[in-house]
């Protein structure tokens, strides 16, 4: 979708979006150790994280806080997944 928007295909166009894509999947319940998930769930996670990023930007916080909060979200949801897997 990004390539369709910018109308340019370069090798490094999507560089830097790896963290957001992993976070979007982890938020909706896809395990980092492998598991099942859905495309709609990952899209919902992406929308949730983008809304969070927009909220940070509208609050006039520096851009680094967005990356920090995305990393914190990954850690929190990965820890919750690890705890629930160990209880099963």
Give the global pTM: 0.66
15-46 pLDDT, tens per residue?
778 878 888 888 887 777 776 777 888 888 88
First to last CA, the chain: 39
- Indicate the pLDDT class of residue 64, thresholds 50, 70 and 90: confident
- Spans of all domains in the chain: 17-87
- Nearest Cα residue to 84 out of 51, 13, 35: 35
């Amino acid at each position: 979708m990004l390539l369709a928007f910018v109308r340019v295909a370069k090798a490094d166009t999507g560089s830097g979006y790896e963290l957001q894509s992993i976070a979007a999947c982890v938020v909706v319940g896809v395990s980092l150790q492998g598991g099942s998930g859905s495309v709609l769930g990952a899209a919902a996670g992406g929308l949730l994280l983008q809304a969070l990023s927009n909220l940070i930007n509208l609050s006039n916080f520096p851009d680094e806080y967005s990356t920090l909060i995305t990393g914190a979200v990954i850690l929190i949801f990965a820890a919750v997944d690890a705890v629930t897997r160990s209880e099963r």
